Amino acid sequence: MTTPKPRIGLFVTCLVDFFRPTVGFSAVKLLEDAGCEVSVPAAQTCCGQPAYNSGDRAGARALAEQVIALFETFDHVVVPSGSCTGMIKMHYPDLFSGEPDWRLRAERLAAKTHELTSFLVDVLGVAPLPINWEGTATYHDSCSGLRELGIKAQPRQLLSAVEGLAVREMRDPEACCGFGGTFCVKYDEISNAIVDRKAADIRATGADVLLSGDLGCLLNIAGKLKREGSRVEVRHIAEVLAGMASGPAIGETRK
């Protein structure tokens, strides 16, 4: 008798959907290689974080309802982003205070929602298929993943299994990159000062690739490095782990 495969609903996130489908396909591959059955509900859009962090609770709630209804039937929900996972796991229940039915549904969804690297390590406990990727990487801890979900060791553990890859830590990998959702355009000058320090820390490692688990941070950092004329490549960790990092990096095109 074989145990049935866990049924995973993949929430790709609006940024991955729009900017970087490769991250979604990498996540699917990692999950399928690990023996999961993966679905990507077609009606998914955004988790509601922009509204929530702008004080628009009603807007956030409307999107939360949509996500709950779409994903609550799966065994697990997996998200290739610390901040969107944080939104669902840490903040959805809060949006429905005073509405016991909805709150219960939000709590149930929160309990089975996981960030991708944490799902692979903490829930499945399987090592990804062995891959080989030559290079030196440095890893940026995204704020929500790190401080809301405690994700720190998992991505490093997964990266340490990649043949040929050396990880060199930057001075302060836990420092914010200055993205902050709408912060980066509302207070663009301050955001720039923050990402400027991050870019300097990355360059100081001498690594040739910057990896992280959140596309918001990655777009911000890639945009800064690119503007500075840096040759450091920027990628989502899932691309490397899935062996799908041969295409152009973020902000690059086929040479």
Partner 1 sequence: MSGGLSSVSFPKNAHAALANPPLLKAIAHIEETLVSGRRRAIDALPEFEALRDAGRDIKAHTLKHLDLYLEAFEKKVLEAGGFVHWAADAAEASRIVLDICQAAGARQVTKGKSMITEEVGLNAFLEANGITPVETDLGEYIIQLRAETPSHIIAPAVHVNKEQVAADFRRVHTNLDPRRNLDEPTSLLSEARGVLRERFLAADVGITGANFLIAETGSTVIVTNEGNGDLTQILPKTHIVLASIEKVVPTLEDVATIMRLLARSATGQEMSVYTTFSTGPRRAGDPDGPEAFHVVLLDNGRSAMLGTEFEDMLRCIRCGACINHCPVYRSIGGHAYGSVYPGPMGSVLTPSLHGLEKSAHLANASTLCGRCESVCPMRIPLPKMLRHWREKEFERHLTPKKARYGLAAWRFLATRPRLYGMVTRFAAWGFARFAGKKGALSQVPLAGGWTRWRDLPAPEGGTFRTEWAKRGRK
> What is the total count of residues that contact partner 1 (CB under 8 A)?
68
Choosing from 147, 152, 156, 203, the residue that interacts with partner 1 (CB under 8 A) is: 147
Q: How far apart are CA 226 and CA 12, in angstroms?
A: 25
Around Cβ 167, how many Cβ atoms within 10 Å?
18
> What element of type H or E holds 237?
helix 237-241
To partner 1, the closest distance from the beta carbon of 61 in angstroms equals 10
- Residues 6+ positions from 101 with CB-CB distance below 8 Å: none
CA-based torsion, 94, 144, 28, 15: positive or negative: positive
* Positions in 212-231 near partner 1 (CB under 8 A): 219-220, 222-224, 226-227
Choosing from 34, 52, 155, 241, the residue that interacts with partner 1 (CB under 8 A) is: 52
Q: Does 110 bind partner 1 (CB under 8 A)?
A: no
Find how far residue 244's CA is from the centre of its chain.
16
100 burial class (0-12, 13-18, 19+ CB within 10 angstroms)?
Answer: exposed
To partner 1, the closest distance from the beta carbon of 178 in angstroms equals 6
Cβ 88 vs Cβ 82: under 8 Å: no
To partner 1, the closest distance from the beta carbon of 127 in angstroms equals 25
Binding mask 10-39 for partner 1 (x = CB under 8 A): --x-x-xxxxxxx-xx-------------x
**Whose structure tokens read 């929900």?**
77
Span near partner 1 by CB under 8 A; candidates 98-106, 117-125, 126-134, 184-192: 184-192
Choosing from 2, 98, 132, 189, the residue that interacts with partner 1 (CB under 8 A) is: 189
Find how far residue 169's CA is from the centre of its chain.
19
Site residues (vs partner 1, CB under 8 A): 12, 14, 16-22, 24-25, 39-40, 42-46, 48, 50-57, 59, 62-63, 66, 143-144, 147-148, 174-176, 178-195, 219-220, 222-224, 226-227, 248, 250-253
